[in-house]
Amino acid sequence: MSVGVEIPFRTRLAMFVRMLAIQGSWNYETLLGNGIGFCVEPALRLLPGGQGGPAYRAALARQSQYFNAHPYMASVAVGALARAELDGESPAKIERFRTALCGPLGSVGDRLVWAGWLPACSVAALAAFGFGVGTAGVVFVFLGLYNAGHLALRAWGLSAGLDHGMKVASALGEPVLRKSPPYIAQVAALVGGVALPLALDRVIGPGRALFGVVLAAVALGGLVLGRLHGRVEGWKVAVGLLALFVLYSVVR
Amino acid sequence: MIQLLPLALLGAVLGLDVVSFPQAMISRPLVAATAAATLLGDPVRGLLIGATLEMFALETLPFGASRYPEWGSAAVVGGGLFAMRPDGPGTFAVAVLIALVAAWVGSWSMVQVRKLNARLARARHEDVAGGSKRVVEGLQVFGLTADLVRGGVLTAALLALAVPTHEFVLGRWGSDPRVSSAVVVSLAASVAAGAVWKVVHAAPAARWLLLGGIGIGLALLATR
């Protein structure tokens, strides 16, 4: 654990709040780079010479260059890079470290959040909907579950980065980060399986008369799209088919 | 038109959530469509179309620089349209289709904002390389503002086009309401089933858990 310059609570809070806007200037050239500089900036004010000093300006310039990572896991980078700057590590070492962080923080975040936590929370909310939970309840299930994980991950990432600095790789070995995606996927599979028929039943309205046909169509459609994954985007196929149906319904 | 203003403001805020701030997923269709319909006094219809759009959205996860649909303003358009009209044979199908098209247009508009951000970042490169706090923060604030404006303008424009289109199509609707509803739900649930499989297939025993879950769901339906 790094024991350099102490970072006041207000600075940590400012970094955390800024992290919620880390993708504010996302673009195809520097990707998340400017956002990293924006989030690290409150900590850089603690460098010798203070805000606007040569050390501050050099560090802010370094931290605002190209960077790519998952937006929530970027909190690990924000904390670790702030700590590295405050510990007075050499610019070359910080730049190498910065480059090395991109890959792992992207892949861990994508697996854990985009391919794990988000769909799991989505199917949990669809299950609540299918079980007949009311409007506020369904929204609360989704936002409550999702953001409990989301905010905890950002807070943990910042704290781990600030605590470990350039040794933050050890924190990325946390069992929760490494082992939880398959468990989350298993829960999503079970809950998703329960949710689909129940949600379908609640949303179908007058189509209930054709429920058996709908179930058969979903089984076939889901199987085809599942087998074709990576080759076609189901929602685009659905847009085309739905557009054809609307056209048919208007001109018939 | 006065009715569209609160929806445009909601679209702006929810469009911003998709990527820029705070990515708390208030822009997911389940939330966004419900919020839009709640503004128009019918949260239950918002939840119905929100759940349907959420099934489509399950397939489109916001991985890195990939291009994905913008569900925030699209779900506001879909939820708003569905809540504005009384129940009719094609109301649901047309509102869902318009929301899906809106998500596609929204995706294009996000790319334009990203290109604009890139142009500005290129123009300010020297200042950033000089460690200018004002420029680093300015780029961030500009990007956030541009995205907020994008969501608002997009929602207003799409609603202004979609409301008369919805009316026009529904005035000529000739399909049976049962078939209309069955088609939409079949498509949404097929996409969701494929998406769940895509997400979970690599996990141990996922196939059996998914099939078991479907079995439990069907058994629960049979006992209702």
pLDDT single digits (tens) B168-223: 999 999 999 999 999 999 999 999 999 999 888 889 999 999 999 999 999 999 99
The backbone torsions φ and ψ at residue A232, rounded to the nearest 5 degrees and listed phi first, read -135, 155
Domain ranges of chain A: 9-203, 207-252
Residue of B nearest to A34 (CA): B136
- Whether residue A61 lies within 8 A of chain B, CB to CB, comes out as yes
Residue numbers of B between 87 and 126 with CB closer than 8 Å to A: 90, 92-94, 96-97, 100-101, 104, 114-115, 117-118, 120-122
Give the CA count within 13 Å in the CB-facing half-sphere of B144: 21
Q: What is the pLDDT of residues B117-133, one digit of tens each?
A: 999 999 999 999 999 99
Q: Which of A232, A243, A126 is nearest to B99 (CA)?
A: A243
Q: Check if B1 contacts A (Cβ < 8 Å).
A: no
d(Cα A58, Cα B214) in Å, to the nearest integer? Answer: 57
Query: What DSSP state is assigned to residue A209?
Result: G
Nearest to B74 by CA among B86, B60, B63, B64: B60
Query: CB distance from A30 to chain B under 8 Å?
Result: yes
The runs of H, that is alpha helices, within A4-131 are 9-19, 33-44, 54-63, 74-86, 91-109, 118-130
Token pair in block for residue B144: 């956030």
B77, pLDDT greater than 90: yes
Residue at A248: amino acid letter: Y
Residue contact B190–A222, C-beta within 8 A? yes
Distance of alpha carbon B26 from the chain centroid: 10
B212 touches chain A (CB under 8 A): yes
| Best mutation target, A112, A242, A251, to test chain B (most B CBs within 10 A) | A242
State how far the Cα of A45 lies from the Cα of B181, in Å rounded to an integer: 59
Confidence label for A4 from pLDDT (cuts 50, 70 and 90): confident
Phi, psi of A31 (to 5 degrees): 50, -115
Q: pLDDT class for A120, splitting at 50, 70, 90?
A: very high
Contact B153/A at CB under 8 A? no
Quick check: B20 and A135 CB within 8 A? no
Q: Which residue of B has its CA nearest to A128?
A: B51
pLDDT the model gives residue A231 = 86
Residues contacting residue A1 through CB under 8 Å, at least 6 positions apart:
A163, A164
* CA-based nearest distance B145→chain A, Å: 9
pLDDT digits (tens, 9 = 90+) for A7-38: 999 999 999 999 999 999 999 999 999 999 99
